[in-house]
Amino acid sequence: MSVIIDTEAKNRSLSESSDTELDPQFKPIVTLPEVEIRTNEENEIVLLKLRAKLYRFDKSSKPPEWKERGTGEMKILQHKERNSVRIVMRRDKTFKVCANHFITPWMTLEPCKGTEKAFIYTAAADFADEEAKRECFAIKFGSVDNADTFKSKFEEAKKILKESECSELICPPKSSSANTEDVTTKLDKLEVSNKEEEKK
């Protein structure tokens, strides 16, 4: 006498029973508190956000050459209070800063030879390495439209800086003229005594 076993029905019943009966809950061994990560972009408005590839001109290498700085998201940010505008770019995956510098009214974008997707410009002080360095950058975009959008926003940022009251980072503060007047009046009042004449 042979017994026919329905394997499918058996597997189905096992899976159904395992779904209903087994409900493991694993509690974490260590509980970590939530840490607030600050990007220093909290007080800034995003004027533009585009993917780009950044290069820097390395004069120290022999011969001097363009070196890739990183590929990632490039932002043009305007500060809400000071009206200063800067470019910040972070690398993909690592999010390490590869560009962090202010746009100034005298900066110029030059088209890159051989392509309409890239521009060359010089930043007087880039803080990507946490110290101010003069850098010559080439920035390349995925399309001509993106490159044109970057150029128009770059020029718009320069216009904002020219028309608005300059930030303290670019222009001297308003109170500086009053301070210089105070200093000059105090200097005028000073009397210099000649020690040799006093001895005589």
Give 44-165's CATH code, choosing from 3.40.1190.20, 3.30.1330.60, 3.40.50.720, 2.30.29.30.
Answer: 2.30.29.30
Stretch 51-57: mean pLDDT, rounded?
96
Q: What percent of the chain has pLDDT over 90?
A: 50
Read off the pLDDT band of 10 (50, 70, 90): low
22 pLDDT higher than 60: yes
> Dihedrals φ, ψ of 115, to 5°?
-150, 145
Each domain of the chain, given as residue ranges in start order, spans: 44-165
Chain segment 137-159, per-residue pLDDT in tens: 999 999 999 999 999 999 999 99
Helix (H), strand (E) at residue 67 = strand 65-79
Q: Tokens 């050459």 sit at which residue?
A: 65
DSSP state of 168: T
pTM of the model: 0.64
Q: Which of 53, 36, 55, 44 is nearest to 136 (CA)?
A: 55
Chain segment 59-94, per-residue pLDDT in tens: 988 899 999 999 999 999 999 888 899 999 999 999
User: What residues does 52 pair with on adjacent strands?
Assistant: 72, 141
